[in-house]
């Protein structure tokens, strides 16, 4: 029987497996012995000891620097940043040391660091607890970035991140935490085609994959076949899977919850247009949030958040270009 776990419990299982597999793995963060606000680390301190699962003060900058220093001297730390909004406090250490030490040392130092960050819009939390900052990380050479959308990937990709010899930012959308799904032992590299389709490619990651799949259902009702790609890794980016799909469909929508302007969608759109221009029937469309902070009021949060409707609208508009589907 396949094991089904909630996304948050899959993260817990990934941490547990990694702590058990390698004594160099340590978990560091605010309230991690208690389990954190969502329970991802609950019980790990009792199981593995408080020397391997350590609570820190609310000192994000120093915790990130300390984890980096531990990584270059032999540990494999997993840092939890409670909300991605607070990683702003630790960006100096993340960008200037974790990301650069391998390069600046001419390859002498390795930084096997995993940074678990929870974020995204859910729950009317307002502008300091709802952001999607992945473009800051993907714009930084030396960082890897992963954003799972399903519980099975939550476990498998976390274990892969921890085993990686590079700093990996592991993005968790809290809107996914209570989703249930099967665990797997599939390959952890690259993107995955979640739904095949012949007319338009929808490229997405994290929670937006679910909106893309829902939009694809709706599009199918009007006779449009949408292929949905779950990128999983934002760095390194699996452009081969994207190009393969776009060369088949001729149309692409890139969808994310982060603000559209300067977002990862811009990079992917530009790459598609450069590498697959001849195959394109329509301009590449982008779906993302408005260029604004997230408001706390329920109506305003809903108005800000892109989703199914925006993806469906973007895909439909692309269908006005090129031949009508058979």
Partner 1 sequence: MTELDVAGRLALLERMWLIRAFEEKVSELFARGQVVGLIHLGIGSEGSAVGICSALRDDDYVFGNHRSHAHAIAKGADVDRLMAEIAGKAAGYCKGKGGSMHISAPEVGFVTATGVVGGNIALALGAALTSVTTGDTRVSVAFFGDGAGQSGGLHESLNLAALWKLPVVFVCENNGYAEFSPLSAHTVVERLTDYASVYSIPAVTVDGGDVMEVRRAADHAVARTRAGEGPMFIEVLTHRLRGHYEGDPAAYRELSEREEWTTRDPVARFRAELDEAGVAADTIAATEAAARASIAGAAEFAVAASGPGLDEATTDVYAL
The residue ranges that bind partner 1 (CB under 8 A) are 26, 51-52, 54, 56-57, 59, 61-75, 77, 92-93, 96-97, 101-111, 141-142, 144, 165-166
Query: Nearest approach, Cβ of 219 to partner 1 (angstroms)?
Result: 37
Locate 236 and state its tokens: 């390194």
Q: Do residues 207 and 174 make contact, with C-beta atoms less than 8 angstroms apart?
A: no
In whole angstroms, how close is the CB of 93 to partner 1 at the nearest point? 6
- Assign residue 251 a region (left: φ > 0; alpha: ψ between -120 and 50; beta: otherwise): beta
Nearer to partner 1, 104 or 303 (CB): 104
**CB 134 to partner 1: min, Å:** 18
User: Beta 233-235 vs 144-146: how paired, if at all?
Assistant: antiparallel
Greatest alpha-carbon pair distance for the chain in Å reads 63
Q: Quick one: CA torsion of 70, 98, 237, 319, rounded to 10 degrees?
A: 120
Pairing status of strand 192-195 against strand 226-230: antiparallel
User: At how many degrees (to 10) do helices 151-163 and 7-21 cross?
Assistant: 30
Q: State the Cα–Cα distance between residues 264 and 206, nearest whole angstrom.
A: 13
Is 116 or 256 the residue whose CB approaches partner 1 more closely? 116
The least distance separating partner 1 from the CB of residue 319, rounded to whole angstroms, comes to: 39
Q: What share of the chain is helix, strand, coil (3-state, %, to 5)?
A: 40, 20, 40
Distance in angstroms (rounded) separating the CA atoms of residues 172 and 183:
17
Residue with Cβ nearer partner 1 (28 or 219): 28
Among 111, 67, 70, 109, smallest CA distance to 87 is for 67
Report in angstroms the alpha-carbon separations of 113 from 13, 79, 166, 256, 282. 18, 8, 6, 25, 41
Q: How far is the CB of 89 from partner 1 (least distance, A)?
A: 9
Active site residues: 60, 129
For the CB of residue 57, give the shortest distance to partner 1 in the complex, in Å: 6
C-beta of residue 263 within 8 angstroms of C-beta of residue 231: no
Q: How many other CB atoms are there within 10 angstroms of residue 46's CB atom?
A: 10
Looking at the Cβ atoms of 97 and 210, the one nearer to partner 1 is 97
Q: How distant is the alpha carbon of residue 146 from its chain centre?
A: 5
């Amino acid at each position: 029987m396949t094991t089904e776990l909630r996304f948050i419990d899959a993260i817990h299982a990934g941490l547990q497996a990694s702590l058990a597999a390698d004594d160099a793995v340590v978990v560091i963060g605010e309230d991690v012995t208690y389990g954190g606000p969502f329970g991802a680390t609950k019980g790990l301190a009792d199981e593995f000891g408080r020397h391997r699962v350590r609570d820190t003060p609310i000192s994000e900058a120093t915790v990130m620097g300390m984890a980096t220093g531990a990584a270059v001297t032999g540990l494999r730390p997993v840092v939890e940043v409670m909300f991605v909004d607070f990683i702003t406090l630790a960006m100096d250490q993340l960008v200037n040391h974790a990301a650069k030490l391998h390069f600046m040392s001419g390859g002498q130092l390795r930084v096997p660091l995993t940074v678990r960050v929870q974020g995204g819009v859910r729950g009317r939390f307002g502008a300091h607890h709802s952001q999607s900052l992945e473009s800051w990380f993907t714009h930084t050479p030396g960082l890897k970035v992963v954003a799972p959308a399903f519980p099975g990937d939550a476990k498998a990709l976390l274990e892969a991140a921890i085993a990686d010899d590079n700093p990996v930012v592991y993005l968790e959308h809290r809107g996914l935490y209570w989703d249930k799904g099967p665990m797997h032992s599939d390959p952890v590299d690259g993107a995955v085609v979640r739904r095949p389709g012949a007319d338009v490619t929808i490229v997405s990651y994290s929670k937006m994959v679910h909106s893309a799949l829902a939009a694809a259902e709706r599009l199918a009702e009007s006779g449009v076949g949408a292929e949905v790609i779950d990128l999983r890794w934002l760095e390194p980016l699996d452009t081969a899977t994207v190009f393969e799909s776009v060369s088949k469909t001729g149309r692409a929508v890139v969808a994310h919850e982060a603000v559209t302007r300067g977002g990862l969608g811009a990079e992917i759109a530009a790459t598609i247009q450069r590498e697959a221009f001849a195959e394109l029937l329509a301009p590449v469309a982008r779906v993302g949030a408005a260029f604004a902070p997230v408001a706390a009021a329920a109506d305003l949060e809903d108005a800000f958040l892109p989703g199914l409707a925006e993806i469906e609208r973007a895909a439909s508009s692309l269908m006005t270009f090129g031949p009508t589907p058979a």
